[in-house]
A and B are shown apart, each in its own frame.
Chain A
Amino acid sequence: MSFRFNKATFEDNSFNEQIREKLTSALNADANTGTQSKSANASNSAVTDEVKQETNAPKKLDILKSGISVRKVNFPSIPQLEILDLDVSAQSKSLLKGICKISCKNAMLEITTEIEANLLLLYTNNGPAFTTPRLISNDSFTVPITMTFSQIELEAITNIFVKNTSVGISFNDVNLDFDFDCSIKLLQSSIEKRLKGSMETVFKEVLPSVIFSMSQRWFTHGEANTGSTDESKFSEQVSTHPHVPRTILEDSDLEDLSPATMLRLSTLVSSRQSLSLNPTSMNTFSAIPGCLERQNLHRFNSRVPALSNFYPAFYDNEPPELKTLGRSTSSSAVIGGGYSQQRNVLPQRFLDDRSYDLKTIASVQSRIYERSSSGDNSNLRRRKIKMGKRAKPIVTPVPQTPVIHEEEAEMTATVEPERDGQTETADSEIIHTPRAVPATPSAETFIVKNSVLDDAPLLQWPAQVTPSVSGKLQMSKLNLLEEAQFLSRKRELQKLRSSLYSPMRGSKFYVTREMERPILEHKGLSFVGLAHGLKAGGEEVPPPPYGY
């Protein structure tokens, strides 16, 4: 992934002219303290300024007799910005974290100024008149000096952190090379040595601080940060750190952004945000509380307890068709249509292979239930009733399911009222429907459904299905039994889990996350930063929005 600069900007000479003007104004704004501008080349010249003062004046003597003027700037090739890694919302407060490679080749820069060659004049002028002897014919002798930087090649790896309040940049691996030519050959070697020496401070301290302070003005999210306080802060910063140059990139630098581009960008940003999940919750994936960004949806979904999450090969094969069972995931109402939903269904493949683990399924189901019921007591009560109902069928369903296959015609009638009742209750409580029972033995419920809804295929069905299914039935019986047993134990677990899953206790989530991690990796998420965030920032990652 990489950015491409607009070629037209570089083809005519306007870019060079613009750089030249900005450099000239930046260098002359404050001749005493070396000033920096936005580009790396600007820093070059600023450093030379600083160096000039260093070489000739241990004290604060200004040997510059004139302003610094930038004669020539030439960028024959377009600078390149390559994004090596981009991580969106790696941490709670940051919007973006990225690693970029900046490269610039074959650039040329020439600056001229005038320096005072008669140093003794400077000292005698600065000294107190009373004790300074008068020198005859000690006039100033200004020497014009031209410094040419040619073949500037810059290659830098930068870490960029975009946060809500500012942009932080750190330069990691800077490779800067240039040919230096000074009109005064006597000074060339010493200036060059000092230039290279001070390059590190420029990239390590000066440029990051300049960009940081500049970016603070772009972001107005931070309520406390009004422009004035920013400036005062910055001036404080300047006063406390004398080596930090007083450079603020001008707002006029940003005027080049066309309104059309800004509009496009804003729509892009807004399109990333969808409906509100939970307006009061702060622990969402998004920077804006209550909104879920679309790109985070897969992460959200991957954390929603569903069978398909544990057996992820599911929607490789099957088209999204099963609306009836989609209700468990409908709790995540944010998910817009058109995007693949989470279905709480075991993939056919696993059913065929029988590679599923019953305990896992049971735990998933119970979690779905708890998730839907947490914070709602009435739901708990309903579940109790269900448990009560189940208490009897714990034994009865075992004959019930065989009934479907063995004596279909008779049992349809008996099953039907049950089914109706269940569906009615389910309809009455749409939100809280736990699909624990119907979801787990999915194959069977399909059959039941089908047998209930249309009679004609019902008769045909068993004939086809029975041989294949009957083998499974023994298993499913056992499964059901086990699940029933499991459900009986659920009350104890329920208390524990409801406490575990409450969003207030982020630390205890660690347990569940460990379960999920292999899933994420198994899914082949190529976001390095995401995996990194999970591993490294364990405590900092907000708990998934289970609080609903």
Chain B
Amino acid sequence: MIDYMQQVLRAFESCTGWNRDNCYENITSTSENVLNFKIPEGLKCQVSNSSTAHTFSTFELSNHSVINGSLAYLYSSGKGLDRSVSSSGNVLLQNAVESYRQIQPSYLDEASRKAFEPSSLWFGRMYYPSSTLEAMVVKRLNPETQLVAKCLSSLAHTSVLTLYWQRDSGQNCQEWVFSSNEALVGYRMLHNFVGSQSKLNTSLYNNSSLSLGAEFWFGLLNTSPACSTTMRYSTHSANTGRPLTLTFSWNPLFGHVSSTYSVKTSSNATISTKFDFNLYSIESNLSFGCELWRSGKEAGPNQGTTQTASRRAQPQLAETKDMFYHLMAGSSNSQKLMEDLNVTFASPLNKIQKERSNIQKFEKSLVDSNFTSVCKLSTSLRDQNLKVLWEGRYKGFLISAGTELTNAPLDLPSNMVDESKKTSFFKPAKFGLQLQYSM
């Protein structure tokens, strides 16, 4: 379940033309959302409201060990934000839940480039009774750059300031990060290979994308480095139009290799697998996760109109832009060429049409389906656990309930487990329920 404030932040980013998926941090988020979803702990209630077009507030109460809560305020100077943020009763469940995401690089056209105006977002959250303060400032400096400052101030923990400077030119995304915690310095970059890759493809219609990214980290205080590189390939299946994503990550420092394969097999089911392998220690792990969406009965006329209205309000970038984007990047010559080719190569173009219609049909069914709940399952061979999460809407409330069952004792280190005893039964490691309501 995406927090209300997170939804506002995403809405802000989409309003200002920032593609959060085009970032190395989120290069594996497709499979992570299916495999490593977060399970709420304890009981948590969240009430949120958009008081004005620019301010949003959230009140949260939870009983994690003791009753505590938080108050969050957000101010944004972005325009049209209130229209993008919808209440918990109207929001599409697909947008309110971290789920499979088909990530496509998007390019800003000249029009939106000109329409850009610098805007900023201010966010603060105060926890009590621990009186920890979280603050975040997001500044869009120009169409390509963004500056994020996150700060945490608390009595128990040392205060931490983390700065992100991000530059995203569509094809290339670079990011510098500095965190005062252990003086961590990082550099991340992501590059999208487009256009030229179509030569390799026999099909004229190409909507696949290949991305390559890398990150380098160094903790100055503890002199510990980290780095990794990841390749991602995402495409649609030509026959069925189902999207699929493959990633391959490699950590050269510790010899860690992990590959994922995620596919949306139907409009209401997603499957993701992940295989980890360590080149040095020959340790391996196999993870498996799936999402099952359940659509309710056909929406009534009233509800249907409001929902379609809200859907229309949301900018559907993918619908128009992701097809032929590599051709659109070129001039109108290609369009003319296509028309000329129509005569000579009738059958391949028919094939393109067919593929395209397949994909579009599938995406349309995805958008139009009225999902009411989603059930997520994930398990890992090495950790010997089973995670279950149910998320859905009930009378305007967004509910998220989940539990993690584990076979291993919780606190003991792994090799002591074998010595002590073999527990044959799964025990709940944690479970929780989260209620979210916003107007």
Contacts and interface: CB of A to CB of B under 8 A. Distances in A.
A123 B250 contact: no
B324 to A, nearest CB: 31
Contacts of A16: none
Interface stretch (B175-183, B327-335, B401-409): B175-183
Of A31, A114, A137, most buried by chain B (CB within 10 Å of CB) is A137
Interface stretch (A64-72, A216-224, A252-260, A538-546): A64-72
Contacts of B412: 67
B256 A141 contact: yes
A457 interface: no
Nearest to A112: B415
B146 to A, nearest CB: 15
Interface in A128-142: 128, 130-139, 141-142
Interface in B384-402: none
B416 A67 contact: yes
A117 B150 CA distance: 28
A119 B254 contact: no
A136 B230 contact: yes
Given A120-B224, A133-B162, A139 B251 contact: yes
Contacts of A118: 226, 254
Of B154, B254, B416, B419, most buried by chain A (CB within 10 Å of CB) is B254
A143 B161 CA distance: 32
Given A66-B413, A141-B256, A141-B281, A135 B228 contact: yes
Contacts of A74: none
B432 interface: no
A120 B27 CA distance: 20
Interface in B109-157: 134, 150-152, 154, 157
Interface string B220-233: 00101110101000
B228 A137 contact: yes
B258 interface: yes
B98 interface: no
Given A120-B224, A136-B215, A65 B162 contact: no
A134 B226 CA distance: 12
A136 B228 contact: yes
A210 to B, nearest CB: 24
B228 A138 contact: yes
Contacts of A28: 416
A183 to B, nearest CB: 13
Nearest to A67: B416
A37 B62 CA distance: 45
B211 to A, nearest CB: 12
A137 B415 contact: no
A129 to B, nearest CB: 9
B181 A117 contact: no
Contact of B217 (A114, A117, A120): A120
A399 interface: no
Of A64, A132, A133, most buried by chain B (CB within 10 Å of CB) is A133
Nearest to B225: A120
A433 B160 CA distance: 93
Contacts of A197: none
B16 interface: no
Contacts of B24: 136
B219 interface: yes
A135 B179 contact: no
Nearest to B157: A128
A21 to B, nearest CB: 12
Classify the secondary structure of A's interface with B: loop
A320 interface: no
Contacts of A119: 219, 222, 224
Of B28, B161, B224, most buried by chain A (CB within 10 Å of CB) is B224
Contact of A131 (B25, B151, B283): B151
Interface string B242-259: 000000011100111010
A417 interface: no
A537 interface: no
A118 B307 CA distance: 48
B414 A65 contact: yes
Contacts of A127: 160, 179, 181-182
A67 B230 contact: no
A134 B161 CA distance: 15
B414 A135 contact: no
B413 A67 contact: yes
A132 B276 contact: no
Contact of A136 (B28, B182, B184, B255): B28
Nearest to A24: B419
B179 A131 contact: yes
A128 B155 CA distance: 13
A449 B120 CA distance: 127
Contacts of B413: 31, 64-67, 114
B150 A135 contact: no
Of B251, B256, B415, most buried by chain A (CB within 10 Å of CB) is B415
Nearest to A133: B177
A16 to B, nearest CB: 19
Given A66-B414, A66-B415, A137 B256 contact: yes
Contacts of A131: 150-152, 160-162, 179, 181
A144 to B, nearest CB: 9
Given A118-B254, A133-B162, A133-B177, A139 B276 contact: yes
Contacts of B283: 142
Of A66, A118, A130, A131, most buried by chain B (CB within 10 Å of CB) is A131
A114 B416 CA distance: 11
Interface in A58-81: 58, 64-67, 69
A137 B250 CA distance: 7
A133 B25 contact: yes
A437 to B, nearest CB: 86
A130 B230 contact: no
B281 A136 contact: no
Nearest to B159: A131
Given A67-B416, A131-B161, A131-B179, A142 B228 contact: no
Contacts of B184: 120, 123, 133
Interface in A89-124: 114, 117-121, 123
Nearest to B230: A136
Interface in B243-286: 249-251, 254-256, 258, 276, 278, 280-281, 283
B384 to A, nearest CB: 16
Given A65-B413, A123-B182, A137 B160 contact: no
B213 to A, nearest CB: 8
B416 A66 contact: yes
Contacts of B195: none
B225 A142 contact: no
21 contacts: A28-B416, A66-B416, A114-B415, A118-B254, A119-B224, A123-B219, A128-B160, A130-B150, A130-B152, A131-B151, A131-B160, A131-B181, A132-B179, A133-B162, A133-B184, A136-B27, A136-B28, A136-B230, A137-B250, A142-B281, A142-B283
Given A65-B415, A139-B278, 5 more contacts: A131-B179, A135-B228, A137-B228, A137-B250, A141-B281
The 3 residue pairs across chains A and B that have the minimum distance between CB atoms: A66-B415, A119-B224, A137-B228
Interface of A: 28, 31, 58, 64-67, 69, 114, 117-121, 123, 127-128, 130-139, 141-143
